[in-house]
């Protein structure tokens, strides 16, 4: 049975998604400030790795600690809601069907507590 990563087209779709998505995020007045001093190249690679993990694709070479990356940044639930809205819009723009898009947003949402810092490293 193919993974969600494979169902949406694998790495080419993930790359297209991440690039289009971060155009929205960077220009959002509430989300953009979080990325002022962020390397787009590093961010893009980290996000492609994250989406690969979240969608059951190939594991990245380096482990990602969402808690560590987002700790102390002041991220609130309202920011995650905006993030999810931009993600859903971008998934539709890059041609991911509604069922898969909903599944992807639901999977990404399972990581929200780590991003907010509400859980320990162990879960």
Q: For residue 123, what pLDDT band results from cuts at 50, 70 and 90? A: very low
Residue 75 has pLDDT above 90, yes or no: no
What is the rounded distance in angstroms from the CA atom of residue 24 to the CA atom of residue 12? 19
What is the rounded distance in angstroms from the CA atom of residue 90 to the CA atom of residue 98? 12
Contacts 24+ apart (CB under 8 A), 1-4: 3/55, 3/56, 3/57, 4/55, 4/56, 4/100, 4/103, 4/104, 4/107
Instruction: Specify the pLDDT at position 95.
Output: 95
Per-residue model confidence as pLDDT tens digits over 41-55:
888 988 999 999 999
Instruction: Specify the pLDDT at position 71.
Output: 67
Percent of the chain with pLDDT over 70: 92
pTM of the model: 0.85
Domains of the chain: 4-116 (1.10.490.10)
Instruction: Specify the pLDDT at position 121.
Output: 44
| Six-digit token string for 45 | 């690679």
């Amino acid at each position: 049975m193919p993974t969600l990563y494979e169902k949406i087209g694998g790495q080419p779709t993930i790359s297209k998604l991440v690039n289009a998505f971060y155009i929205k995020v960077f220009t959002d007045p509430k989300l953009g400030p979080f990325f002022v001093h962020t390397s787009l190249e590093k961010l893009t690679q980290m996000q492609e790795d994250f989406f690969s993990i979240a969608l059951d694709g190939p594991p990245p070479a380096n482990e990602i600690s969402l808690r560590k990356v987002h700790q102390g940044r002041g991220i609130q639930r309202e920011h995650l809601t905006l993030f999810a809205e931009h993600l859903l819009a971008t998934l539709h723009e890059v041609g991911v069907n509604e069922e898969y898009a909903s599944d992807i947003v639901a999977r990404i949402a399972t990581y929200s507590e780590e991003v907010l810092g509400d859980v320990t490293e162990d879960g």
